[in-house]
Structure 1
Amino acid sequence: MPFDGLTITALSYELNSHLVGSRIDKIHQPEKDELIINMRGYKTTNRLLISANARWARMHLTEEKKENPSQAPNFCMLLRKHLEGGKIKSIQQSGLERIVHIRIEALNEFREWKEKILVCEFMGKHSNIILLDPENNTIIDAIKKYGSDISSYREVLPGKEYIVPPPQDKLDIRTADFAAFVQKMWDQEEDTSIYRALFATCTGLSPYSARNICQQAGIPPLRPIGESGEYELSRLYEKTRNLVFALQSGESSPAIQWKKNEPFEFTPYFPAIDNPEIKLSEYESMNLACSTYYESKLQQIRFEEKKRILTKKVKNKLERAYRKKFLQEGDLARAQERKKYKEWGELLTAYAHLYKKGDLEAKVYDFNTGEEITLPLDPRYTPIENAQHFFKLYNKGRGTERHLRKRMQQNQADIHYLESVLVAIQAARSITPILEITEELEKEGYIKTKKKKPGQQKKKSSPQRSRPHRFVSSDGLEILVGRNNRQNDWLTLRHANREDLWLHTREIPGTHVIVKLPPTISSIDEVPDKTLQEAAGLAAYFSKASEASKVPVDYTFRSNVRKPAGARPGMVIYDNHWTINVNPRAAEIQALLAQEEADH
């Protein structure tokens, strides 16, 4: 749901109730368009977030702690000068508009108590945070400044008079009588849906809230306004008025709608939902609902962005490795061609007595096939010297081939490793595994560690590591699946018992899978078939071959798995194994994945 007037009505009531009288301790500006105001009240401390972000403009209390720049921006420094140490006098919404006035009384440079107003405008790309001097209604400063070259309606610059944003041609449902409401609704085109007409009529509504009010009033939101009479409009009128007055009085019922474990919408009232895929969560305050929604939403966006960037970096590394492999294969083919020089040298040595210095070629017979071969000769040298030259070319090619094969082996190991990393990135569903994979790649030297700017605060490393995927098989056995290569090492080499079952896709980049076996199972034949199928299916699903219909998966006891010295993360060798072919898209695998999703 957009941060509309109804949400601001509910928030303003809560913020005014909780923050009036609080003293401003510290002001931070972690983002170019975002403020965090730390306040201290009677036995309470609060952090008020105000954002003028074009997409995520909002205001609510928050517990989230963000990294601040080492050098505070100018607007932040100015707010500290004017507002720190001051007291909150009131927090009021301007009508039902998306504008909030925070009145603050603070000491000026002459130690006199003076009132300032922090105007918060939440209007999409036009959102702003403006500090006013109410004595002459002038702008002291703003987080976004612009002049007449940007807006012909108003200038937002220090010293200029503050002009409120242009009013909308809508009614304030609190003061508008029913006749005015009906007339405004019927002024819309006849085929306009009734919820769109309601949105165009009343200040403070978003299309989403207008649609929901229609549903709560028992009126189909898509019904054309031309087919709606006074009876339907009277129900809408009363429903909208009652909702606004309830929110003004603090009678909100905040809720978040979740879809596939992601926040979908939030409302200051309990909405009417007719979608079985949507789950509702109620919250004790509008601030908590907003904080939960936005922090979860923005965390998901940050995750997706980090995932996209990391995927691009790994794919670039892979593309270079693939090109390197192609070139190396060409070099190898040419190096292998040099083997003929040994044969040429031997043949020319055998037939040297038939030729002399100055000859351009020698016709000899292959010892193995008996076929005639024409050898090119350098006329400057004797046949024996030409033969020695052939042997030198052969020896040079042999050394080149030996070193080339070693480099090809190293490059192929890079390809296999990076492909396994790409599988782990694509399977990541939260930011923690992405950060772990980034750390792994930095330690392995595949990507550079970002250098800290002078004076920049050092980020605290996350104390909480991701845990492996956990499933329970149809036979009740625990199945653990690694999320990245370092976790694969931990899962296989440290966490698993030697008697547990270990699985991995055969010669295909993928993750490690462990089935925790009870002591009663001592041989492979005793592992339940259903569990084996499910564990192998998970190994195939979390691999490069996840889209295939038939994937070979090796399995063996953990005791048969070991890690060579110096091997990259996730790289192991194993023996005494068996192979099973599975379909990662089989119904039982999808059921296990759905089970984990539901548990999450």
Structure 2
Amino acid sequence: MPFDGVFTNSIVKELSEFVEGKIDKVYQPSKDEIILIVKKDRKNIKLLLSANPSFPRVHITYSSMENPKAPPNFCMALRKHILGGIIKSVSQVNFDRIIQFEIEGLTELGDAMQYKLICEIMGKHSNILLLNNENTIVDCIKHIGHNMNRYREIMPGADYVMPPVKGKINTLSVQKENIKSMLNKNVDITIESFFTSNFLGISKAFAKQICYPYESKKISELNNQQTEDIVSNFFHYLAKIKNGDYQYIIYYNHSLMADYYVFPLQEYNMLKPEYYSSPSKLLDTFYYHKDVKNTLKQKYKDLFKIVSNYQDRNNKKQQIYIDKINEYKNYEQWKIYADVLMANQYSIKHSSDNVKLENFYDGSIINIPLDSDLTIIENAQSYYKRYAKEKSSLEVISNQLEEAKHDEDYIKSILFNLKNASDVDTIEDIRNELIDSGIIKKKKIKNKKQKSEPYHFISEDGFDIYVGKNNYQNDYLTLKFAISSDIWMHTKNIPGSHVIIKSKKGQISDEALKEGAMLAAYFSQAQSSSNIPVDYTIKKNVKKPNGAKPGMVIYYTNKTIYVTPDEKAIKNMTLSK
């Protein structure tokens, strides 16, 4: 996901429209995100500054975020120094992934003070810093001491030091004569590496586009015409960047968003592009669901850890059971040994630790080990006991293995529901389910009402379609909510949600069936696959075995429909409030 210097440049150009805007409110919804409400010309915009290590970015957002009851320290520092301040400029530093806001704020005495709010968008090293007019760090969202970074200390009171550029130059300042000279000094590297290692703000994706179709060739392997074409292409894009001639594109792989950029990319010519009117709308669309899921995952990481540990223990148990089954699978030989010994007890001279006798079951000669301290009858009885013990153990262990496999299917459904949860209430339902299942050791809260509700879609021709968000909801929809003539749907042998299509006078339209199957495939572990098998049958053919885990059912006389999930089509479906 190339949030590189080029994309940063497009964001800065968009945000420059809000110069002279007033910072009206400051929030910190999470440990590494800041929201600034900027007011200009009687309009409010919500500006997101994120130092999230997975999704760092800066853009206007249209999404709502829950704020903590008590603002964190960095939020308090921003409110103290720049709340009510005026944004005097927005700029990009050295064409790198650094955005600088110059803000005119107030000191504690009410005097004007110039501040800089710096956003460094650099993966796990991302940070947001507030500097005073002497370039001293007032505070930052992540404190980095010398023990963590020898090059620069990022702490309140320290002088601000720019991130290292590693010998790279500002892309916007390069001249044609300079680039040809630089090419002659780097003949042993690929042309793609030349651009990424010498120029600030150029990602691999953009470098490939500049060099296409020669990106993997070494500079020494290029002829003069190829080199000239690449240099011309570079300055062609440079002119577009300087003029702000961008296209804001999300690339879709089937129904899933794969990547984004501000120029069409040859490497994605097999993917489906979708165009947006601004870089902020693109980023808000691309990161919304990823951000929600990531925030929930961080907030409820204890649940993920508990379920993952339970899954690991279950896998180890299954392996132990399989090893024991392999050890006991030949248990019948002990009965054969005992029977043969008993049949020959009077003819055997017990003077060694084994005896060779004919197996009267198949006529073969078998070698039977003996315990010299026991009589022949006692040896036979020992084999009978071993036979009975291993036979009994094999039955018990086989049942335990079957139960562990059912647990494996169940825990996969729990993990699927956790990873796809989009709100706090759904995760709390899953927590309660884990308590009921005994996976979490905690006293059950009596009469605790289920908070979240299943998804409710309406098909194009007016049929109600319901989708469970967790196993409790799956059980409710299938066993209590649906009537016998409703259609029940689920992906075949794949963890996912139960889907119920409400019938009208016992009838379901083909369009509703198709949309229901699309929803069942989308809300399943196979969401990113194609031609997903979805089983469906009338509800009366679906039963829940006694003692089965939540969400686990059996069904019969079903049919199967194959669909490929389309995220855009899902979003266009009517979701009832």
The TM tier, using the shorter chain, reads: 0.5 to 0.7
Alignment of 1:219-368 (within 5 A): 219-276=213-270, 278-299=271-292, 301=294, 308-309=304-305, 311-312=307-308, 315=311
Instruction: Give ranges in structure 2 of 5+ residues lacking alignment.
Output: 322-399, 444-449, 526-534, 571-577
Label 1:220 to 1:316 Cα distance change in 2 as closer, same or farther (>3 A): closer
- Residues 517/108 of structure 1: CA separation in 2 closer, same or farther (3 Å cut): closer
Alpha-carbon separation, structure 1, partners of 2:277 and 2:183: 35
Whether the aligned pair in 2 keeps the contact of 1:138 and 1:160 (CA below 8 Å) is yes
- Tell me what 2:382 maps to: none
How far residue 253 of structure 1 moved from its aligned partner, in angstroms, is 0.6
Residue matched to 1:424: 413
- Structure of higher CA gyration radius: 1
Distance 2:451 2:248 in 1: 31
State the match for 2:37 in structure 1: 38
1:558 maps to: 540
Counterpart check, 1:439 vs 2:436: no
Q: Give deviations 1:563-587, integer Å, cap 9, x for gaps.
A: 99x99855889xxx9x55x8xxxxx
Instruction: Please say if residues 129 and 144 of structure 1, whose CA atoms lie closer than 8 Å, have aligned partners that are also in contact.
Output: yes
Q: Partner amino acid for 2:436?
A: G
Q: Check whether the contact 1:252–1:286 (CA below 8 A) recurs between aligned residues.
A: no
Equivalent in the alignment of 1:15 = 15
CA distance in 2, matches of 1:83, 1:301: 29
Cα distance in 2 between the residues matched to 1:120 and 1:557? 54
> How far does residue 274 in structure 1 lie from its aligned partner after superposition?
4.9
| Letter of the structure 1 residue corresponding to residue 129 of structure 2 | I
Deviation at 1:267, TM superposition (A): 0.9
Match of 1:592 in 2: 562
Counterpart position of 1:486: 472
One-letter amino acid matched to 2:51: A
Checking the alignment, whether the CA contact within 8 Å between 2:29 and 2:68 is kept in structure 1 is yes
CA shift for structure 1 position 69:
3.3
2-side partners of 1:51 and 1:158: how far apart? 19
CA distance in 1, matches of 2:190, 2:125: 28
* Shift of residue 42, structure 1, vs aligned partner: 1.7
Say whether the 8 Å CA contact 2:251–2:268 is kept in structure 1: no
Which residue in the other structure is 1:123 paired with? 122
State the one-letter code of the partner of 2:562: L
Counterpart residue number, 2:190: 193
Percent identity reads 29
The offset of 1:132, in angstroms, is 1.7
For 1:262, the aligned partner's letter is L
Which residues of 2 match residues 160-175 of structure 1 at below 5 A?
160-175=158-173
Q: Is the 8 A contact 1:100 1:121 kept in 2?
A: yes
Give the aligned residue type for 1:422.
I
One-letter amino acid matched to 1:199: T
Relative to 1, partners in 2 of residues 1:132 and 1:302: Cα closer, same or farther, differing over 3 Å?
closer
Is the CA contact (8 Å cut-off) linking 2:139 and 2:156 kept in structure 1?
yes
Distance 1:5 1:513, change over 3 A: closer
Q: Partner letter of residue 179 of structure 2?
A: F
User: Could you tell me whether the CA contact under 8 Å between 1:486 and 1:570 is conserved in 2?
Assistant: yes
Q: Is the 8 A contact 1:174 1:241 kept in 2?
A: no
1:140 corresponding residue in structure 2: 138
Q: Using the TM superposition, give the Cα deviation of residue 314 of structure 1 relative to its aligned residue in structure 2, in angstroms.
A: 5.9
Structure 1 residue corresponding to 2:208, chosen from 208, 211, 215: 211
Alpha-carbon distance in structure 2 between the residues aligned to 1:303 and 1:145: 24
2:562 is paired with a residue of what secondary structure?
helix
Q: CA offsets per residue over residues 118-144 of structure 1, 9 Å max, x none?
A: 12222334333222222x333323333
Cα distance change, pair 450–107 in 1 and its aligned pair in 2 (3 A): farther
TM-score of the pair, normalised by structure 1: 0.62
How many residue pairs get matched?
460
Change (3 A) 1:32 1:165: same
Equivalent residue runs for 1:490-509 within 5 Å: 490-493=476-479, 495-500=481-486
- Rounded Cα–Cα distance in structure 1 between residues aligned with 2:50 and 2:99: 12
Tell me, in whole angstroms, the C-alpha distance in 2 between the residues paired with 1:425 and 1:149.
40
- Tell me how far apart the structure 2 counterparts of residues 230 and 596 of structure 1 sit (CA, whole Å): 46
1:61: Cα distance to partner? 1.5
Q: Distance in 2 between matches of 1:32 and 1:510?
A: 32
CA distance 1:448–1:469, change in 2 (3 Å): farther
Deviation at 1:116, TM superposition (A): 0.9
Find the aligned partners of 2:54 and 2:506 in 1 and give their Cα distance: 58
Aligned equivalents of 2:153, 2:228: Cα separation in 1: 41
Following TM superposition, by how much is the alpha carbon of 1:250 offset from its aligned partner in structure 2, in angstroms?
2.9
Q: How does 1:10-89 map to 2 (within 5 A)?
A: 10-17=10-17, 19-89=18-88
User: Quick check: 1:91–1:101 contact (8 Å CA) kept in 2?
Assistant: yes
* Separation (CA, whole Å) in 2 of partners of 1:511 and 1:128: 39
SS at match of 1:223: coil
Listed one character per residue, the Cα deviations across residues 143-200 of structure 1 (whole Å, up to 9, x for unaligned) are 333454444443334344333233342343433221210121232243x222122222
Letter in 2 for 1:115: Q
Query: Is the 8 Å Cα contact of residues 168 and 203 (structure 1) preserved in structure 2?
Result: no
Q: Is the 8 A contact 1:93 1:100 kept in 2?
A: yes
Deviation at 1:89, TM superposition (A): 0.7
SS, match of residue 592 in structure 1: strand
Aligned counterpart for 1:466 among listed residues 455, 464, 468? 455
What's the secondary structure of 1:297's corresponding residue?
Answer: helix
Unaligned runs of 5+ in 1: 326-410, 452-460, 522-527, 544-552, 583-587
- Partner of 2:110 in structure 1? 111
Give the distance between the partners of 2:488 and 2:266, measured in 1 at CA: 49
**1:233 to 1:484, Cα distance in 2 relative to 1, 3 A:** same
Change (3 A) 1:21 1:183: same
Q: Which moved more, 1:42-51 or 1:491-500?
A: 491-500
Q: Aligned in 2, Cα 1:300/1:279: closer, same or farther, shift over 3 Å?
A: farther
CA distance in 1: counterparts of 2:287 and 2:237, whole angstroms: 24
Counterpart of 1:81 in structure 2: which amino acid?
K
Q: Is the 8 A contact 1:89 1:103 kept in 2?
A: yes
Distance 2:458 2:499 in 1: 9
Distance 1:434 1:81 in 2: 31
The Cα of 1:418 is off from its aligned counterpart by 5.9
Distance apart, 1:209 and its partner CA = 1.1
Secondary structure of 1:436's aligned partner: helix
Residues 24 and 150 of structure 1, relative CA distance in 2, 3 Å threshold: same
Instruction: Note the C-alpha offset of 1:512.
Output: 6.2
